[in-house]
Amino acid sequence: MSRLSWLCLAALVAVGPSMAAESEVERQVADEVEAALLRLAESGALAETGRSLSIEREPRVRYELGAVVEIDTASGEAPIVAITPGGSAERMGLRVGDRILAINDLDLTRSEDPGADFARSTARAQGRLRLVVRRGERRLELAGSAERVLVPGFRLRIEQPDLNSTGVEPLR
């Protein structure tokens, strides 16, 4: 057996049998979670060595507009900076550059947290949208529905390694 074969076999043995039985979906989810945890560690968000975190979320419904909306906290307006082709925003007639002024009779220009108010208003109306937008100098009223997305519930426990016992260098 070549040295490379031995190294591969050693890696499989080190991974253990649980990895071999892992489904493709489980592997994909684990890879995405690990990538997110690495980004958080690199940013310093997980800096408290030795502290574990437990996070649990119930399944929920979320509504997607199909657009990237930037919140302008100074004016309270919400300019559209990108639109998903074929998404709700495009079907409603929204365009890049439009500024959302109100949603379902809620004036976003007077809101303290336009992003949160937009999400709450959309959820209360179960995705139905009546928008007032500014396109250039014109005010338009548009109506439609946001896409309904089911977000699975999850339980996540994050264990911080004891760097003194593992010999692993912390991310900086």
Kindly list the structural domains of the chain, giving each domain's residue range(s) and its CATH number in brackets, ordered by start.
3-58+153-166 (no CATH), 61-150 (2.30.42.10)
Which amino acid makes up residue 24?
Answer: E
Paired strand residues for 131: 103, 142
Cβ–Cβ contacts within 10 Å for residue 107, how many?
13
Give 73-119 pLDDT, tens digit per residue.
Answer: 777 678 999 999 999 999 999 999 999 999 999 998 888 888 888 88
The per-residue pLDDT string of the chain (172 residues; one tens digit each, 9 = 90 and over) reads 333 333 333 333 344 444 557 899 999 999 999 999 888 888 887 776 557 888 999 999 999 999 998 887 777 678 999 999 999 999 999 999 999 999 999 998 888 888 888 889 999 999 999 999 999 999 999 999 999 999 999 999 888 766 665 555 555 5
Alpha helices in 98-158 (DSSP H): 114-124
| Token pair belonging to 108 | 């976003």
Collect contacts of 108-116 with beta carbons under 8 A, ≥24 apart. Answer: 108/76, 108/77, 108/78, 109/75, 109/76, 109/77, 110/76, 111/76, 114/71, 114/73, 114/76, 114/78, 115/69, 115/71, 115/78
CB 36 within 8 A of CB 158: no
pTM: 0.63
First to last CA, the chain: 39
Phi, psi of 113 (to 5 degrees): -140, 80
